[in-house]
Amino acid sequence: MLPRMMTSRRLLTAVMFLIAAYGCSNNDTPTTPTTPACTVTAGAITNSTFGAAGGTGSIPVTAASGCTWTATSSATFVVISSGASGTGPGTVNFNVAANTGAARTATLAVAGTTFTISQSTASPATQGSFAPPTATSPVGGQVVTVARPPLTVANATPTGTVGTMTYRFEISDQSTFPNDAARTFSVDGVPQGSGSTTGIVPRDLGPDVLWYWHARATDGTATSGYSATETFRTPSSCTFAVSPATASIGNGGGNLQFTVTTGSACSWTATSNAAFITVSAGASGTGNGTVTATVAAGATTDRAGSLTIGGQTVTITQAGTGANGISASFRMTDPGIGPAPTTECRITSSTATTCSLESTSFPLGTNGLVSFSWNVVWTDGSVQTRTQSGAGTTFSFTWTCGGPASTDTGAAVPLAVSLTVTDTSGNSATVASGSGSQPPLFLRLFKC
Domain 41-119 has CATH 2.60.40.10: yes
| CA 227/CA 215 separation, integer angstroms | 5
H helix count then E strand count, the chain: 1, 40
CATH class of segment(s) 326-445: mainly beta
**Which pLDDT score is estimated for 4?**
47
Adjacent-strand bridge partners of 170: 186, 214
* CATH fold match for the domains 41-119 and 326-445: yes
Length, in residues, of the chain: 448
Q: Is 135 helix (H, G, I), strand (E, B) or coil?
A: strand
Give yes or no for a contact between 389 and 374, defined as CB atoms under 8 angstroms apart: yes
Nearest to 205 by CA among 217, 191, 187: 187
Look up the CATH superfamily of 241-318.
Answer: Immunoglobulins (2.60.40.10)
Domain-wise residue ranges, the chain: 41-119, 129-233, 241-318, 326-445
Strands 246-249 and 312-318: parallel
Residue 221, number of CB atoms within 10 A of its CB = 11
Dihedral Cα 196, 202, 203, 208, nearest 10 deg:
-20
10-residue stretch averages of pLDDT, the chain, 448 residues long: 46 47 47 66 94 94 93 96 94 95 94 94 79 96 89 94 94 95 94 97 89 96 95 86 84 83 86 94 92 83 89 86 72 92 93 94 84 94 94 95 94 93 84 84 94
Closest CA to 90 of 112, 67, 122, 113: 67
Instruction: Report the alpha-carbon distance of residue 40 to residue 59 in Å, rounded.
Output: 13
Please, how many CA atoms are within 13 Å of residue 434, restricted to the half-sphere of its CB? Answer: 13
pTM of the model as a whole = 0.35
Q: Provide the 8-state DSSP code for 407.
A: B
Which phi and psi (to 5°) does residue 21 adopt? -65, -40
228 — phi, psi (to 5°)? -60, 140
First to last CA, the chain: 156
129-233 in CATH: which number?
2.60.40.10
